[in-house]
Structure 1
Amino acid sequence: MHDIAERAIHLVMAGTVADLRAVVHPDATNREAVDEPPACRGTGPEAFWATALWLRSAFSELAFAVDESVVEGDLAVTYGRMSGRQTGDFVVWNADGRVERAFAPTGRRFEVRHAHFQRVRNGLVVEHWAVRDDQSMALQLGWIPPSPLYLARCARATRRARRAAAAATAA
């Protein structure tokens, strides 16, 4: 079962929607989607694919190195290190599905610890949630402490993201 859970994580980093359909149940939910774009908040492989596209729009060279996997019952826990480089705006969404803020790209690399919890039934992921070290990522990427210039860049990135979200909603 841990192979399905690990594969699902790797496919979000570098797979296709067709790949995700092979490991994610049509009714699967991602508890982490509350801070992600509205398209990520649905169910099934398409919602997981939306998460993949959202992450890939902000980070290139995404990878997840597995340090440990544990399975108990229908729950697989995968602990490891996510890494990448921020080459695009990282947009954070609020619970109402609106852009909260955007972090402008810094070009810096990061490597942080993650634990992913995935419930697997009949060989497919049906639920996902995670514990991430977002503060270390923010420090490594230079988001905190922010310089005045970086704050201005983030304000512009947030305006861009809000305009793009409004245009997508209007279309």
Structure 2
Amino acid sequence: MTTTTDRAAQADLAARAIHLMVNGTLDDFRRVVHPEATNREAASEPPNCRGRGPNAFWGTARWLRTAFADMAFGISTVLVDGDLAVTHGTVSGRHVGDMVIWTPEATVERAFAPTGKRFEVNHAHFLRFRDGLVVEHWAVRDDQSLAMQLGWVPPTPVYLLRCALATRRHRRAG
């Protein structure tokens, strides 16, 4: 049976794991993420994010930080049940770099050129624990609101051209 103390520790760990995406170091991730941890969201992320353990989670953080400045995760609720914690809140930031989306085959699918626009959208993150560390992560995100706030949809013809050029640049760098 999970005690109140255990639930509080897991809630703190869940919140810490989410906040590390903004300002954590690789060493910070090593203290929070299990060596066998997997991120179910990594299929559209760069290849270095698709492995297991702290290095893969660190890769995700670097990928997000490349595209978004002033990023912040506001967590309003954390629920814990057994070995699972769920956080709910918002993520906000400003789109300052190319947001590169990858295919399951680890090639560049497309790149969204920076717009400089700010965003704030809802997020829910699910984290499973083993040995006091995060061993699994998946999320529910409001990507449509993100795309609309950043001007990705509906795109202007000029923005479509900027994205096409960014995509070509990233595919060539491959």
Compute the TM-score of the two structures, normalised by the length of structure 2.
0.94
Name the % identity.
66
Q: Which residue of 2 aligns with 1:22?
A: 31
SS in 1 for 2:111: strand
Alignment correspondent of 1:32: 41
Instruction: Indicate whether 1:114 and 2:123 are aligned.
Output: yes
Superposition RMSD on alpha carbons, in Å? 0.5
What residue identity is the alignment partner of 2:132?
G
Residue 5 (1) aligns with residue 14 (2): yes
DSSP 3-state at the match of 2:89: strand
In 2: Cα distance, 1:148 partner to 1:84 partner: 25
What residue number does 2:141 align with?
132
Counterparts of 2:173 and 2:98, CA distance in 1: 12
Contact 1:5 1:120 in 2 (8 A): no
Write the distance in 1 (CA, Å) between the matches of 2:118 and 2:153: 14
Correspondent of 1:93 among 102, 111, 129:
102
Return the alpha-carbon distance in structure 2 between the equivalents of residues 81 and 164 of structure 1. Answer: 33
Q: 1:83 aligns with which of 92, 103, 109?
A: 92
Q: Structure 2 residue aligned with 1:49, among 46, 58, 69? A: 58
Deviation at 1:160, TM superposition (A): 1.1
**Count of residue correspondences:** 165
Helix, strand or coil at the partner of 2:154: coil
Structure 2: which 5+ residue stretches go unaligned? 1-9
The CA deviation at 1:14 is 1.1
Q: Please give the TM-score of this superposition, normalised by the length of structure 1.
A: 0.95
Does the 8 A contact of 1:26 with 1:44 survive in 2?
yes
Runs (4+) off by over 4 Å: none
Gap regions ≥5 residues in structure 1? 166-171
